[in-house]
Amino acid sequence: MPRLLFLAATVVWVVSLVGCGSPDPNSGVGEVTRVPGQDWPAFTMTYRVEEGALGRLEEVWELNYVNERDWTKTLLESPANPATVGSTERFLDATLTVTHLDTVDAATGAPFSFTTEHSDAPVAPSHWLLRELDIQYQERGYYKPEISSENRLGFEIISTAPCVEDVVDQPVSCSTSDTYTETETIIYSLETNPPLPIERTVVIDGDVVGNIEVLSLVLADGTELELDGVE
């Protein structure tokens, strides 16, 4: 169930984005001509997710993306929870089906699975895989010039968030303040149109608390996108 809530939250995450990055009025790097509402080309992506300053969570996922209403995610690696390997999230038309291989349905003896309907809008595969999010970044001027290049587009979003009481692992700054600063850096590949995100890093108080790195990215026509050179 938590994973479902996570996916549902991604749909509203785009419209609730706030940040305090400093727009660069002279930056025109990486702007892409595109059609509003244009979908990504079909692709297969393998990516690693790491969350927690001490590396508490590490997973490797494969995403088979046909279009915004037809995609499948499969968990390939989970060192901390090996029984979950093979679990899937499948979105087709308007139905999201989540299957947990580490949980058995008492009534059927099969892996636990549930579905939800989303006829109003497509469900994003993940909170960082949201189409047109880069447009919002560009509109706000969150360019990171040292990353942006001929085939890369980088953004840095700096936001202030309130500290939450009675939470273990509070950010260090919460010991002297009621807010903390979070820096998110996200890198897009310009080899597709629209651009595809290939790396995302979140830093709080100097600690990397979240990192997502694309390990391989192959388009449906067999073209393998270049991932070397990401910094």
One DSSP character per residue, 63-103 reads EEEEETTEEEEEEEE-TT-GGGTT-EEEEETTEEEEEEEEE
Residues 13 and 89: their CA atoms lie apart, in Å, by 19
CATH number at 2-219: 2.50.20
pLDDT of residue 53: 61
CA separation for the pair 102, 125 (Å, rounded)? 21
Residue 227 CA: distances (Å) to CA of 78, 147, 176, 204, 231: 23, 13, 40, 26, 10
Amino acid, res. 38? Q
Q: Give the separation between CA 64 and CA 171, rounded to whole angstroms.
A: 36
C-alpha R_g of the chain: 19
- List the domain boundaries for the chain: 2-219
Query: pTM here?
Result: 0.81
What is the dihedral sign for C-alpha 208, 214, 56, 131?
positive
Q: What is the pLDDT along the chain (231 residues), one digit of tens a residue?
A: 333 323 333 222 222 233 333 334 334 445 556 677 889 999 999 999 998 765 578 999 999 999 999 999 999 999 999 999 999 999 999 999 999 999 988 888 899 999 999 988 899 999 899 888 888 888 888 988 788 777 888 999 998 989 988 777 788 888 889 999 999 999 999 999 899 999 999 999 888 889 999 999 999 999 999 886 544
Which DSSP state fits 134? Answer: H
Distance CA 73, CA 84 (A): 13
pLDDT at 34: 64
Q: What is residue 134's predicted lDDT score, i.e. its pLDDT?
A: 87
